[in-house]
Amino acid sequence: MNEVIRLASKGDGVTADGQFIPYSVPGDYVDEEGVLIKGPHHVAPVCSHFPVCGGCRLQYVDDTVYKVFLKDRIAEAFHQQGLSTPLLRETYLSPAYSRRRVSLRAFKAGKKLTLGYNKMASHQLIDIKECPLLEDKLFQAIADLRPFLQKWLKPRSLAQIEMTVADQGIDCLIAMPFPESLEATEAVTIFAQEKAFARLSIDQGYGPETRWEPEPVTVTLSGVRVDLPSHMFLQATKDGEQALVTAVKEAVGSSEIIADLFSGLGTFALAMPEKARVYAAEGLRDATLALKKAAGRAGKSVFVEHRDLFRRPLQEQELSRFDCIILDPPRAGAKEQIPALAKLPKGRLVYVSCNPATFARDAQGLLAAGWQLSWVIPVGQFHWSLHVEMVGYFSKG
């Protein structure tokens, strides 16, 4: 009997003698004939599309093992940089049916419409009939879209659909060729009104064009309503967002002068204490305008600057003004910003990341310059996937 002792980075089980066993879990055994004997952490997948659908990789893994796997993803990234494993606190997992945004595709072959995700390791689509990741209202919106796409998507044409649960309902963006006739224009309005969409936009290759938006679409961040530009980044789940905010606020502590770099719509800037003064820098103009408007409306002391932090990172003299710096870069990390941060003689730094590799790379630069990494909190917003987000708290001086 050969025991599976861990999960590799791509989710395959690894036995004590180094064999990779697909769809196995630590605690499983492989007998002499290669038959997998399931252990206590091997559970039944919750979706009928698994494992054909590429949306989930680890539905057969229970939460106990899955939380360890997400921690191991971070630890391995640190080892790749020649660093010891940081203090990894309890992993937070978003539950099933909690995703508030989704990206999917539709293809029409003859009269048959396929609407869903890519198959595992393939560009071929699978027509989804259920999805335990999504909020119920989001999956209902997918069902509502089917007859609309069935009528208006041309044969042999592909549509890319992005949907988000906003304060007013579903914000939907469809990228597809679309007729410019009066009938088609009226059909969009009637459909969006009947299904109570908050906004429906069509992109024919020239950017989103709003066809229906009876009132400005917003998303509430820390009790503040913020305008939601079309195709704008938002944390995948509300509870995951709150877990990140809670971790950031813990690290910020009593700091009163705070920088929020790569601030987006203000997920963290708007969550800071009332007495705090916040400088928020973001490269996307629509996001900076939305945050500036929301902060002003809410009476928040937030100064917002439209600034490309990859091309024009803050310099040491600019950074030295702040008691605490929040860093929330995209997957590429903050390589351009790290050198100036490394030079600071003292301070607090909260690093929010969605990529263990770039997080560890940037951490290496900070640690080499005398910063201390107190803890890292893993956050699993993408349940049953290989992805993990994290919040790390650094201090110096």
What tens digit of pLDDT does each residue of 289-310 get?
Answer: 999 999 999 999 999 999 999 9
Q: What is the pLDDT of residue 16?
A: 93
Q: Is 372 annotated as a binding residue?
A: no
- What percentage of residues in the chain have a pLDDT greater than 90? 97
At residue 209, the pLDDT reads 95
- What pLDDT, on the 0 to 100 scale, is given for residue 180? 87
* pLDDT above 90 for 120: no
Q: Can you tell me the distance from the alpha carbon of 83 to that of 75, in angstroms, rounded to the nearest whole number? A: 9
Angle, helices 136-152 vs 182-194, to 10°: value is: 160
CB 173 within 8 A of CB 161: yes
DSSP states of 291-325? HHHHHHHHT--EEEEE--TTTSPPPHHHHTT-SEE
Catalytic residues: 354
Q: 39-61 in b/e burial notation, b at 16+ Cβ within 10 A?
A: bebbeebebebbbebbbbbbbbb
Model confidence over 9-30: pLDDT tens digits?
A: 999 999 999 999 999 999 999 9
Q: b/e per residue, 11-32, with b = 16+ CB within 10 A?
A: bbbbbeeeeebebbbbbbbbee
pLDDT exceeds cutoff 90 at 183: yes
Beta bridge partners of 126: 117
Q: What is the pLDDT, as a whole number, of residue 287?
A: 98
- The pTM of the full predicted model, rounded to 2 decimals, is 0.96
What distance in Å separates the CA atoms of residue 221 and residue 245, rounded to the nearest whole number?
10
Is pLDDT above 90 for 338?
A: yes
Confidence (pLDDT) at 360: 99
pLDDT (tens digit, 9 = 90+) per residue, 22-58? 999 999 999 999 999 999 999 999 999 999 998 999 9
Q: Is residue 337 a known part of a binding site?
A: no
As a whole number, mean pLDDT of residues 313-336 equals 98
104 pLDDT above the threshold of 90 = yes
pLDDT higher than threshold 90 for residue 396 = yes
What pLDDT, on a 0 to 100 scale, did the predictor assign at position 128? 96
The gap from C-alpha 282 to its chain's centroid, in whole angstroms, comes to 17
- 282 is annotated as contributing to ligand binding: yes
Identify each DSSP E strand in 208-282 by its residue range.
208-212, 218-221, 224-227, 257-261, 277-282
Measured CA to CA, the distance from residue 325 to residue 319 in angstroms comes to 8
In the prediction, which pLDDT does 329 show? Answer: 98
| CA dist., res. 252 & res. 261, Å (int) | 14
What is the per-residue pLDDT across 225-273, written as a single tens digit (0 to 9) for each? Answer: 999 999 899 999 999 999 999 999 999 999 999 999 999 999 999 999 9
Pair type for strands 92-93 and 372-380:
parallel
* pLDDT bracket for residue 216 (50, 70, 90): very high
The pLDDT of residue 61 is 98
- Domains located in the chain, CATH noted: 1-42 (no CATH), 101-218 (2.40.50.1070), 234-396 (3.40.50.150)
Residues ≥6 apart with Cβ < 8 Å to 208: 173, 201, 202, 230, 231
Residue 248 has which token pair?
A: 């950031």
| Rounded Cα distance, 315 and 14, in Å | 46
Whether residue 235 is annotated as binding a ligand: the answer is yes
Over residues 89-116, the mean pLDDT reads: 97
